Structures are given as structure tokens and as C-alpha cells.
């Protein structure tokens, strides 16, 4: 298994040529985030993740987490030193406001740091990721007292956070949540109920764990409209900011999972006796509304997991292919034992991994930058454009990237052959770890339904039409680039035509028959994301071509053009192939009776 090497050059290439970090640095509050400063921070962040966090990945998978007899979650020993170093270095504070101890960088810079952290150790990275959600909840919806009490410790990562949403009977249907919250005379609430699948719900790395809990007050209506959000600390905080007595939050059990063995997934019990003490976050009955304000960043962070773990698996597969000898490559002397990277099918698998990874990175970073624009640009129209773009790209980032995370880690195992199926080789862990991401933060089917049900109708469909038009407008630049990018140009033209056809069909049929739209949702999302990925790869090829013309020979830039061509010639055609699935309608799905499926 290869040591993790942060893909710093590609990260910087995307930030410079796709995202336009220099423009973000002109926004109020981000003036210190100029490219030179950011790139210096990324270099140090990459060094830290590779040297401090990445070595804990296999250890964590092997040791896992345990629940002691007295209800304490015990993490792998090496995690404690790594987490302490993470807190001291301040990496969790990168994208948060300086007034609460943050470093005040754009969200896209935090995403770049988060990619390297996640690739280093996905299980470990889930702790800071969940803390980000808690920070956002308190920052956006908490009152002054909650912000003063909890934000700084969360931002420094001295305390960690969770999102406590679902319950045994609820699953993705949060309207079925039964956890209760009863207001007390002092304004606090007593919380009683049980929550499941709580990532890093308890652990021994931080002094306190801050839970954001969805619960129903006595007057709460059935369904999601009756839910409110509450902050429930593991340890209560005294008026002077010191830690007081333990709150009534207990770990019932730990889940035994396919992967991310070092990430404790807890069943939590709130209030076995008098009830956990909780504090209302935002207004009563606005729990789901508050959750949705955090949803874009949470889903983007999960999409990032697909990118990061695919990158880590690709690095392993590439090293193995450059070392393993087997078979005789075409054109070599009889008796030659060739490196497997000299065989066409191995190269196909490696190029598939690399080109998808480069497309995902551009998509996710663009999504994050759109959030920065939406929140920070002084011009109202630019803020609206940023918000619309972030809304549109988020289901693509989350679903496509996590689906690809599973597919590409599987390809990495295939490069290894039989050795990849052996745990000692290490690459199987990536596959096991990646499998949860398509389920996190709303399954990928839910993301597809969100795309066709909420995102396509935005502004009467104009948001999607404008975005497709923006992709189509790149044709002039591709034409000007000449024969070198001709296959990218023709591939994009065919793919955009298919996407436009599918979008028009959905706009017409989706209104008439909702089942047709829902049946089309998953293949449509795959088509939309595949074409969008092609657009990003085409832009990268243009940028690399310009750089080569201005700077002479550079293998990285040459490889960038090859991966873009490979994407256009061998991956992008899948988009047109999905048109039949999109336009197939729902009738065939209901031609079979449920009991027939077991015949």
C-alpha cells in the first residue's frame, strides 16, 4: 500500500483555473486568502495530513473502537495523539469566523484541507466533519448565549459535535421522529428518546461532545413541521465556561459496520432518568428548516468523501501497477515479465480512476466556491447566482461522487487482482470505507429526487437551462483550440444534446406523471453529472493547453490533456447511453407485482 501523497498540484490547478481563488480573495473578509497564502497553507496542511493522520488509517481499521463496561467509547490509541496534534495545529478552524477563533478562509479552502484529511483517514475525518455541522447550526441559528458558550470550543475542535436525527422507526423519514422535548421553568428543555446511527456520538478524544438533536415538543404537530432543534451537551457547561456535571446522554451500543471501523457509530439514549438538559436552537418547530440550511455543506462534505477515498485508492493502485510484474506486454521479447501497467486494460482502469477524480475535484470545489459567493459577495445578483449554482450542483456532488467513490475503489482492487481481495494489501479497506457515503446525508436516490423535484423547477427551469447553455458556450473555445481537443468538442456536443433532450422530457412528463420523473431521477442525475464532469475536464484541457503554450514542456499538463481526452472519448459517451433509461418512464416498474419478485 502506498503512502498518501496529497495531490497538491491538482488542487492548486483547480483553485487557479476552475474556481478562481483570486476573485474570492477580493471579497470582504477574505483579503488574506490570496493564492500565495492559501497555497502555503495547503502545503503545510498536506504535510500534516500525510505525516500525522495518514499513518493511523490502517491502525484504526484494525483496532476499531470499543465500548467499555462503564459506557465509555475507546478509540484506537494512535488517534489520541493525532487528534491532539490536529487541535493544536488549528486545521478545524480554517473556514470559520475569526470572532469565534476561526481563521476566516473561504469554504473552498476548508474543502481542500478536508479532502486531504479525509483521504488520510476517512474514519478519523468524520469527527471534524460532524463538528462542522454543529458549528453551522449554532452559528446560523443559535442565540448569543449559545454562540458564546459553545462556538469557540467547537471551532478549535477541543469539543466535537454531532447531528442526532434519525431513530429506529424513522430511517430517512424524519417526520416519524418521536424524541420528546419538554420546556422547563428555567427555559431549558428535558429531552427523552433514542437516536441511532450517530457518527462519533461519543469518544475519548475531546472533553465534550455537543449533540444537535431533532425532537418534538408537546405542541409539535405530526410530521417534520412539528420538529425543533436542540443543543444537548454530553457534559454541561458552567456559567464561567468550565465543564460541570455529566448530562443524561448514554451510549446504548456501537454498530458493527462494513467499514470505517475506527468511527464510532452510536445508539444514544437521551434522558433515562429525568431527561437530558437541552437548549432550543432557533425557533420552535423550525428544526427541519434549520437542518436544511446546513444541508448543502453537509452533503458536499459527504460527496468529498467519494473524491478523497477514490484518490487514496488510486494512489495505491498506481504504485502497485508500477511494481507488479505479470504477463508479457505486446511488443516485448518472449520470456519478458512485464509491469502490469504496460497492459492496456490496467491503463484503462487507471485512466478511468484519474479522469473521474479530476472531474470530481473540479465539481466539488466549484460547488464550495459557489457557496462562498452566495454568502459573501456584495452584489445581490452574484449572491443569487452563487446560491442557485450551489443548489443545483449539490445533489450532483453528493450522489455522483459517492457512487464513483465505490466504483473507483472497486477498480483499485481490480488492478491488484487477487491481492486486492486480501486485507493485508490495504486497498480493500478503501472499498469498505467508501460504501457508506452513498447512504449518508440522504441516500443517493433521495439526491436524485431532489434534483428532479426541487432543482429542475428552480426559477421556472431557467437555472438548469442557463447552466446547460453555459456548458454549451464552451464549444467556441474548444473549436479555437484546434485538432488537439477535437474529440473533446465533439463528445461534449453529443452529450449536451442528450442532456437537453432528457431535461426537456422531464420538464414535460414530470409535471404530468410524478412517477415518470421519479423513475428517471437516478439515471438523469448520473447523466447530468457525467456531462458536467465533461465540461470541467474540457475547461481543464483548455487551461493546460494555454499553460503549455506559454511555459514549454510539462508532463503534468500533458497528462491533464490526456485524461480530459480519455474522459471525453471513453466516459462521456455514457451520458447519451442513459437517455433511454431517463425516458423509459415508470410503467415497466409497476408491471411486476411485488410478490412476483420472489418467484
Task: Give the range among 216-225, 245-254, 431-440, 564-573 with minimum mean pLDDT.
Answer: 216-225
Burial of residue 77 (number of CB atoms within 10 Å: 0-12, 13-18, 19+): exposed
230-250 average pLDDT score: 97
Q: With bands split at pLDDT 50, 70 and 90, how would you rate the model's confidence at 552?
A: confident
Burial of residue 223 (number of CB atoms within 10 Å: 0-12, 13-18, 19+): middle
- pLDDT, residue 56, reads 98
**Using CA atoms, how far apart are residues 568 and 344, in angstroms rounded to an integer?**
18
Cite the DSSP H helix spans in 142-286: 144-146, 152-155
Of 221 and 161, the structure prediction assigns the larger pLDDT to: 161
Q: In angstroms, what CA-CA distances link 507 with 181, 469, 542?
A: 42, 16, 33
With a pLDDT cut of 70, the percent of the chain lying above it is 100
pLDDT in tens, 51-105: 999 999 999 999 999 999 989 999 999 999 999 999 999 999 999 999 999 999 9
Q: In angstroms, what CA-CA distances link 260 with 53, 162, 308?
A: 15, 17, 14
Active site residues: 441
Q: Give the length of the chain.
A: 599
Element (H, E) at 244: strand 243-246
- pLDDT, residue 595, reads 93
Q: With bands split at pLDDT 50, 70 and 90, how would you rate the model's confidence at 292?
A: confident
- The pTM of this model reads 0.97
Helix, strand, coil percent values for the chain (each to nearest 5) = 65, 10, 25
Neighbours of 462 (CB within 10 A): 12
Q: With bands split at pLDDT 50, 70 and 90, how would you rate the model's confidence at 170?
A: confident
Grid coordinates of 336? 519478458
SS3 193: strand
Cite the DSSP H helix spans in 396-461: 401-416, 427-434, 444-450
226-249 average pLDDT score: 97
Strands 208-216 and 159-164: what pairing?
parallel
pLDDT in tens, 496-522: 999 999 999 999 987 789 999 999 999
- pLDDT, residue 63, reads 97
Assign residue 323 a region (left: φ > 0; alpha: ψ between -120 and 50; beta: otherwise): alpha
263-268 average pLDDT score: 98
pLDDT of 247 > 80? The answer is yes
Query: Are the CB atoms for 44 and 113 separated by under 8 Å?
Result: no
Amino acid at each position: 500500500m502506498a503512502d498518501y501523497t496529497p495531490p497538491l498540484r491538482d488542487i492548486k490547478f483547480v483553485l487557479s483555473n476552475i474556481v478562481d481563488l483570486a476573485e474570492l480573495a477580493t471579497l470582504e473578509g477574505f483579503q488574506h486568502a490570496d493564492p500565495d497564502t492559501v497555497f502555503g497553507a495547503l502545503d503545510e496542511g498536506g504535510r500534516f495530513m500525510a505525516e500525522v493522520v495518514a499513518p493511523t488509517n490502517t491502525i484504526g481499521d484494525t483496532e476499531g473502537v470499543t465500548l467499555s463496561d462503564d459506557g465509555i467509547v475507546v478509540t484506537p490509541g494512535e488517534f489520541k495523539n493525532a487528534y491532539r496534534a490536529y487541535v493544536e495545529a488549528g486545521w478545524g478552524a480554517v473556514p470559520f469566523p475569526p470572532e469565534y477563533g476561526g481563521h476566516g478562509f473561504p469554504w473552498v479552502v476548508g474543502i481542500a484541507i478536508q479532502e486531504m484529511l479525509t483521504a488520510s483517514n476517512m474514519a478519523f475525518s468524520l469527527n471534524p466533519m460532524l463538528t462542522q455541522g454543529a458549528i453551522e447550526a449554532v452559528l446560523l441559528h443559535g442565540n448569543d448565549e449559545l454562540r458564546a458558550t459553545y462556538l469557540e470550543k467547537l471551532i478549535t475542535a477541543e469539543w466535537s459535535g454531532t447531528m442526532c436525527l434519525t431513530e429506529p422507526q424513522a430511517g430517512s423519514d424524519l417526520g416519524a421522529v418521536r424524541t420528546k422535548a419538554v420546556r422547563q421553568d428555567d427555559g431549558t428543555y428535558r429531552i427523552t428518546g433514542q437516536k441511532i446511527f450517530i457518527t462519533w456520538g461519543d469518544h475519548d478524544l475531546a472533553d465534550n461532545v455537543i449533540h444537535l438533536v431533532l425532537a418534538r415538543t408537546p405542541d409539535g404537530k405530526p410530521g417534520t413541521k412539528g420538529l425543533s432543534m436542540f443543543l444537548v451537551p454530553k457534559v454541561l457547561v458552567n456559567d464561567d465556561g468550565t465543564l460541570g456535571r455529566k448530562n443524561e446522554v448514554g451510549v446504548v451500543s456501537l454498530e458493527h459496520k462494513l467499514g470505517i471501523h475506527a468511527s464510532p457509530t452510536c445508539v444514544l439514549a437521551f434522558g433515562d432518568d429525568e431527561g437530558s438538559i437541552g437548549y432550543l436552537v432557533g425557533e420552535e418547530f423550525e428544526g427541519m428548516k434549520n437542518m436544511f440550511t446546513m444541508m448543502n455543506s453537509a452533503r458536499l462534505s459527504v460527496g468529498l468523501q467519494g473524491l478523497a477515498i477514490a484518490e487514496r485508492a488510486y494512489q495505491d493502485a498506481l504504485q502497485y501497477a508500477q511494481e507488479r510484474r505479470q504477463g508479457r506486454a505486446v511488443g516485448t521479447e518472449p520470456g519478458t515479465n512485464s509491469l502490469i501497467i504496460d497492459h492496456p486494460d490496467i491503463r484503462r482502469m487507471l485512466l478511468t480512476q484519474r479522469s473521474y477524480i479530476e472531474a470530481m475535484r473540479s465539481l466539488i470545489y466549484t460547488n464550495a466556491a459557489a457557496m462562498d459567493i452566495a454568502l459573501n459577495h456584495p452584489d445581490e445578483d452574484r449572491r443569487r447566482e452563487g446560491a442557485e449554482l450551489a443548489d443545483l450542483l449539490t445533489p450532483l456532488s453528493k450522489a455522483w461522487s459517492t457512487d464513483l467513490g465505490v466504483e473507483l475503489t472497486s477498480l483499485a482492487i481490480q488492478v491488484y487482482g487477487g491481492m486486492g481481495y486480501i486485507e493485508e494489501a490495504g486497498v480493500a479497506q478503501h472499498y469498505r470505507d467508501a460504501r457508506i457515503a452513498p447512504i449518508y446525508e440522504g441516500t443517493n436516490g433521495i439526491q436524485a429526487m431532489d434534483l428532479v423535484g426541487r432543482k429542475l423547477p428552480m426559477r421556472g427551469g431557467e437555472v438548469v437551462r442557463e447552466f446547460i447553455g453555459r456548458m454549451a458556450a464552451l464549444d467556441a473555445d474548444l473549436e479555437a483550440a484546434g485538432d488537439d481537443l477535437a474529440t473533446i468538442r465533439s463528445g461534449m456536443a453529443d452529450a449536451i444534446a442528450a442532456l437537453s433532450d432528457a431535461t426537456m422530457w422531464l420538464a414535460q412528463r414530470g409535471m404530468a406523471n410524478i412517477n415518470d420523473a421519479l423513475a428517471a431521477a437516478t439515471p438523469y442525475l448520473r447523466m447530468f453529472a457525467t456531462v458536467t464532469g465533461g465540461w470541467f475536464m474540457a475547461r481543464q484541457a483548455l487551461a493546460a493547453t494555454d499553460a503549455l503554450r506559454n511555459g514549454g514542456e510539462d508532463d503534468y499538463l500533458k497528462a491533464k490533456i490526456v485524461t480530459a481526452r480519455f474522459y471525453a472519448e471513453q466516459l462521456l459517451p455514457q451520458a447519451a447511453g442513459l437517455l433511454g433509461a431517463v425516458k423509459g418512464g415508470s410503467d415497466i416498474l409497476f408491471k411486476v407485482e411485488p410478490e412476483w419478485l420472489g418467484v
